[in-house]
Structure 1
């Protein structure tokens, strides 16, 4: 089981804070540093100093880290046109020496679109139609051989003999992550496009069911490439009950609720819960860290949890 750090900067974090967390995660041996892609806070927080852009952040981190993998859970298809997005991700992959992983979703948070003047298709069907075309375009641009051009005729996006440059450092492309718990379309898109399928913030039982639907879609598609299965869970670890309670309070959550819906408790409790995800086929856990000032939290997990689940 590989442990990855997952942050939510829209809740209130500047670049320097994210850099400190990413460097700590790298130094402590975590497999990857991921961040969300949102432009508006959620819930009862001030969100100061305001949002940071996911790919600008990752470009900076690409030059200030050396080993750790870097990615998004999940870049919103509604935020960017697919051609420029393919360029941005490819450039950051090169800037990092080939350490980028591209988590990509359809987009869902309507309020942030309104807040920053970003068009938001009213129907989920149209968002997924656009998302599917973007997947075709982005992966098509990356896979087009150097010296050839890429053409695409979709309902929402059309590309005319594009040079399909630059290429990512990783060949044939950075790993693509698709996530969610959709019953039909999400598993089908994952089977067609993804290297990794991620289930966020679900129980072990619901995660197992989602994994099963995607495994069925992979089998039905006839693909031969393996799929990596992963889960994301909020993290709240403490050496004792008092420390767990302190960390839960710091993020505005109740301990029992976190134990039911996340990875919360002592290292022993968290190792046991991660083991349940491993039993259903999860190979990676994304640990959602909400208090980005608490680097001791990362140190505790690195020393007391990671060696027992790796």
Structure 2
């Protein structure tokens, strides 16, 4: 496709460094880009969408750009901020207005005719649920460690006894803060049967057998491109806590893993996915999860550049690259 032409719409917040890298690459290729954060609606975003027998038409405007809804080449759905609340509204009215924005603007952004999505927001939503991930990974032939999701303390303790050593994993990366407002992270942790008490009954918990791993693997899939990186150096079970100690080595992807990963993404309608695996001493890959909107830009520059180019290809050529 020649330079110029229909724009790529990047849906994300202003401080998204990962999207910045992709936008820089698209600018280098002279592909038009419009960046929009739904959290700026309605203050700094104006929507005029029409629907009739000819389909969807109209415009979306930010403070600096206007795009034709029928002329969007691709949508890169990244990390938008939540829809904004007008502080002058009552609590009930504000909730209503936010939901109207979510289903109005959000619905329009999800219905752009002919646009290639990486990924479609509704596909992301469906693929974020851990139970659905676990079931789909097994269906696609990936090796899933024994896992229990429960609010029954007795069942949780039985899992910890039967499959020890066992890890606790959060079901979602939900924002959490202490009493002073400081952001906290709920990490993956080892858990023993003795640590499990009756508080388990208050919500759902995920317990999973810990893989006897020699390394971690991050497999980033962009369309038909697979980028596997072996991660060494983590002293604990959650390598995200030890970025300063990690080393990264590109590795080949076994054929059965490539087949399973592609089948997994196809089943959820995804063009992008960030898979995490554990590598055991026998060389087997054990599936942990797939983040449909996972990060990848912390890798060394040579690895990041390859993923950036693959994503830019998807957005520039509409998924045909």
TM-score (norm 1): 0.33
**Which protein is bigger by CA-based radius of gyration?**
2
The two structures have a TM-score, normalised by structure 2, of 0.32
